[in-house]
A = this chain, B = another copy of it.
Amino acid sequence: MGKNKNFVKEITPMEEDFARWYTDIIIKNELVDYSPVKGFMVIRPYGYALWEKIQEFADRRFKETGHKNCYFPLLIPESLLNKEKDHVEGFAPEVAWVTHGGSEKLGERLCIRPTSETIICNMYSKWLNSYRDLPYLYNQWCSVVRWEKSTRPFLRTSEFLWQEGHTLHETNEEAQEETLQMLDIYREVAEDLLAIPVITGRKSESEKFAGAESTYTMEAMMHDGQALQAGTSHNLGQHFTKAFDITYLGRDGKEHYPFHTSWGISTRLIGGLIMVHSDNRGLVLPPKVAPTQVVIIPIAMQKEGVLDKAEELYDSLKEKGIRVELDDNSKESPGWKFNQYEMKGYPIRIEIGPRDIKNNKAIMVRRDTLDKVEISLDNFEERISKELESIQEDLFNKAKKFREENTFKVESYEEYKDHIKDKKGFGKAMWCGSKECEAKLKEETGATIRCIPFEQEKTSDKCHFCEKEAKHMVYIAKAY
């Protein structure tokens, strides 16, 4: 028996050490592993299956909204990266440089894409002719590299998987509409697929994407009260189209620069998924994203009829399109299996033994609540199907309730400074809009302005940081 197979590995309780709890969950569930290159992770099959579910959902929505996939090169010449001033300042310090191809030194250094605006704009400038060609609605799924000093699997790694959409439009209004449409699709990915409630809004000037006109974000609250930026969508205006001289012949017969957006979500979402739903027994997966939704565990399976019944239930669920596994391994005890599948976060466990069968029943255990109930074998698959829907909904509501309980109106900056020392969560504060106040907050508390939410609420007339006139209500929090 393999050295890892004898026991369900222990997970550090989150109250004791949140960071270790997180690491235990991802390593012990074999979601990822550390690679020999510092900061680069290996995404193992169980972790990758989560990414495939995210891809499937998002890709379908991208296509439904008229986007097409394509692929741009991994390497970008240094001269291209340098074309947009803010962009190069933002990214140059964290790119990996290729200096040799085979045995030859390259004439110009190439960076591994940290994001692809520059190479894509270079191609767009070659392709675009007329307003008839617009809009350009393209996306690519790929990996990007950003050299990070301190990394954590899924949350911040030197390489990560993502998608990046890059669109061009005739008018600023259309670009703005696209930017917000894609943010809303990201909200669907977070809320409808991953059951993660998010706050949507605009980033402050200091927090926006390097080269953007405006950046929009969705922010989620983790179990420890910290924020996670879970996806961003940028209205890039004409910053890049001017820098890259992308023009088209307009309806008026004149040359114009198009308006530009880009937007991305990444494997970081998996980190969020874990830190929103999981508990001290391990992963908790919302059914829609769970690679396996139901596991059936036969009890006393040497007894006549048990395995047959288990297989019958398996077939009935499978036929209904439910992702189901039957664990008929006779080497492990049922108790060991229960722990194992709890750790793996399978949404529903079904136990079925001789006595259950006699009573036309089975035991159903929900992973989210750990509630154990007897259910009838009549209309079994409908019952399970409904239960999966209810788990999905309950997880979302639970996470939303948690966020609401840990969101508070800031009364005064002094009070907030005290509060944030040992308690976390999202503060709703009023802000004058100045960089100085934003910098002061960050320096003195470690918290940042997460976003200027679309849903505004005036809690005071004055900025909480400088007492001048307030312009916006903002969410402030410590963040990953």
Contact = CB atoms under 8 A, between A and B. Distances in A.
Interface string A189-204: 0000000000000000
21 contacts: A2-B130, A3-B129, A5-B130, A35-B123, A37-B73, A37-B76, A40-B74, A40-B75, A43-B70, A43-B71, A45-B138, A49-B68, A71-B161, A74-B143, A74-B145, A75-B96, A93-B103, A96-B98, A97-B101, A98-B98, A142-B143
Nearest to A160: B71
Contacts of A302: none
Interface in A87-122: 93-103, 110, 112, 119, 122
A71 B48 contact: yes
A442 to B, nearest CB: 22
A41 B72 CA distance: 7
Contacts of A155: none
Contacts of A129: 2-5
A77 interface: yes
A69 interface: yes
Contacts of A37: 73, 75-77, 110
Contacts of A45: 68-70, 138
Contacts of A95: 102
Interface string A115-144: 000010011001101101100001000110
Interface residues of A, number: 62
Contact of A119 (B36, B96, B145): B36
Contacts of A80: 36
Q: Is chain A's interface secondary structure helix, strand, loop, or mixed overall? A: mixed
A75 B145 CA distance: 10
Contacts of A52: 69
Nearest to A144: B74
A72 B42 contact: yes
Interface of A: 1-5, 33, 35-37, 40-45, 47-49, 51-52, 68-77, 80, 93-103, 110, 112, 119, 122-123, 126-127, 129-130, 132-133, 138, 142-143, 145, 147, 158-159, 161, 249
Nearest to A3: B129
A112 B111 CA distance: 12
A103 B33 CA distance: 27
Given A129-B4, A132-B5, A42 B102 contact: no
A318 to B, nearest CB: 14
Contacts of A43: 70-71
Nearest to A122: B36
A23 B194 CA distance: 44
Contacts of A40: 73-75
A72 B35 contact: yes
Nearest to A35: B73
Nearest to A110: B37
A2 B249 contact: yes
Nearest to A44: B70
A149 B94 CA distance: 29
Given A45-B68, A45-B69, A101-B147, 20 more contacts: A1-B132, A2-B132, A5-B129, A35-B72, A35-B122, A40-B73, A40-B74, A42-B71, A44-B70, A48-B69, A49-B68, A49-B69, A51-B71, A71-B143, A73-B159, A74-B159, A95-B102, A96-B100, A98-B112, A101-B158
A251 to B, nearest CB: 12
Contacts of A147: 101-102
A145 B100 CA distance: 12
A33 B75 contact: no
